[in-house]
């Protein structure tokens, strides 16, 4: 579950009031029935929150102001990565010891490590913005997260402990044992117990946030799926029609074969082999065409390449099996041809 809580500056004017409020709120949320883990974050993944900032790397020449590297930044509470299921690749997570008066720390994403610390271990190195905040030591590396959509590349990202960089607006996220949305009233009650004038907004399940972020792509793929099913149905009908016509044209031949001793399996093999030869040729042409056109759907795919071998193998098998069934029915009918009737008809 995710929900937004905002502390108005008129009521909470001091920066030192922000972090203690959210610390206490999270303790209340963690105590709610059904809550396994809870945390807070200033920018929710897939929420489209744009919070970029330039940074410097200690020990490297300072670039021009307009050429500074830029990272997507977010303030997170303790247990955030475990709550969201984000894998920590190296180093450690934030703890309660990373407070306002403690040495400044930061956790970077894997994309940040690859781009700005290639062939070296970034743990222990320091980054900063050249301002009064000073340098922050890198204490961990987390797996990349899709902040702006599943179809977009993971951006250079950094995470600050909320106790050192508090934000007035935070997303409260909670991993629950039951329906996430059922936690909404209890969350509102926890916030009201601390400040009855505060509102809790945008209560939603992360599944909803994910679904909204891929809505256009999902609709496009749904249309593609419907048209593909229609094309498969037309192909089956076409194969069946062609094979039925072929069997009808060869009734005399099949009758002669049966009269001369051809068995049922021989007739089946004759008809099915003829039909499957055309089908396999069509599948081969289709595979070549698909490989040539994969670039048009590359942007709609996530977690699989446009030339994924397993996908092409599975689709080829599906088409072949469906076509085999379409060939089998006319072939089965051909085995029931009475040779006397077939010969008399001629």
pLDDT of residue 239: 79
Task: Give strand pairing partners of 175.
Answer: 37
Scan for tokens 């496009």, then name that residue.
220
In angstroms, the CA 27 to CA 290 distance is: 54
- In angstroms, the CA 154 to CA 143 distance is 10
Q: Are 60 and 130 in contact (CB under 8 A)?
A: no
Per-residue CA distances from 236 to 16, 312, 318, 320, 342 (Å): 70, 19, 12, 10, 28
A 10 A CB-CB count for 160 gives: 22
Backbone phi and psi for residue 139, each to the nearest 5 degrees, phi listed first: -110, -5
* 334 closest CA partner among 251, 236, 212: 251
Full pLDDT tens readout for the chain, 346 residues = 899 999 999 998 888 899 999 999 999 999 998 899 999 999 888 765 657 788 888 888 888 877 888 888 899 998 999 999 899 999 999 998 998 888 999 999 999 999 999 989 999 999 988 776 789 999 999 998 877 766 677 788 899 999 999 899 999 999 988 888 888 899 999 999 999 889 898 888 888 877 777 777 788 888 988 998 898 888 888 878 877 787 777 777 777 777 777 788 887 888 888 888 888 888 889 888 888 887 777 766 766 777 888 888 888 888 888 888 877 887 777 777 676 765 665 5
pLDDT value, residue 108: 93
Q: Quick one: DSSP state of residue 185? A: H
Pair 213, 149: CB distance under 8 Å: yes
CA 80, CA 96: separation in Å to the nearest integer? 12
8-state DSSP, 273? H
């Amino acid at each position: 579950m995710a929900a937004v809580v905002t502390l108005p500056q008129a009521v909470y004017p001091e920066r030192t009031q922000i972090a203690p409020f959210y610390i206490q709120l999270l303790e209340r949320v963690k105590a709610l029935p059904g809550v396994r883990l809870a945390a807070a974050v200033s920018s929710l993944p897939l929420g489209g929150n744009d919070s970029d900032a330039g940074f410097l790397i200690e020990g490297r020449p300072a670039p021009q102001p307009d050429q500074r590297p830029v990272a997507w930044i977010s303030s997170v509470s303790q247990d955030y990565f475990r709550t969201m299921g984000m894998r920590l690749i190296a180093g450690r997570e934030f703890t309660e010891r990373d407070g306002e008066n403690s040495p400044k720390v930061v956790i970077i994403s894997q994309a940040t490590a690859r781009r700005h610390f290639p062939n070296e271990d970034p743990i222990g190195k320091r980054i900063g913005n050249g301002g009064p905040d000073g340098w922050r030591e890198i204490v961990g590396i987390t797996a990349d997260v899709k902040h702006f959509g599943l179809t977009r590349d993971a951006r250079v990202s950094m995470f600050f402990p909320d106790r050192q960089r508090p934000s007035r607006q935070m997303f409260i996220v909670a991993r629950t044992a039951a329906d996430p949305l059922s936690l909404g009233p209890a969350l509102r009650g926890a916030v009201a117990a601390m400040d009855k004038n505060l509102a809790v907004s945008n209560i939603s399940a992360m599944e909803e946030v994910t679904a909204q972020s891929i809505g256009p792509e999902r609709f496009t793929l749904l249309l593609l799926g419907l048209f593909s099913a229609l094309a498969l149905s037309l192909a089956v009908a076409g194969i069946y029609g062609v094979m039925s016509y072929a069997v009808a044209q060869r009734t005399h031949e099949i009758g002669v074969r049966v009269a001369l001793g051809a068995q049922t399996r021989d007739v089946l093999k004759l008809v099915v082999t003829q039909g499957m030869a055309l089908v396999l040729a069509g599948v081969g042409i289709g595979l070549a065409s698909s490989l040539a056109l994969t670039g048009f759907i590359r942007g709609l795919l996530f977690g699989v390449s446009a030339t994924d071998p397993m996908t092409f193998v599975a689709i080829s098998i599906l088409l072949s099996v469906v076509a085999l069934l379409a060939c089998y029915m006319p072939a089965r009918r051909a085995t029931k041809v009475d040779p006397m009737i077939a010969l008399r008809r001629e």
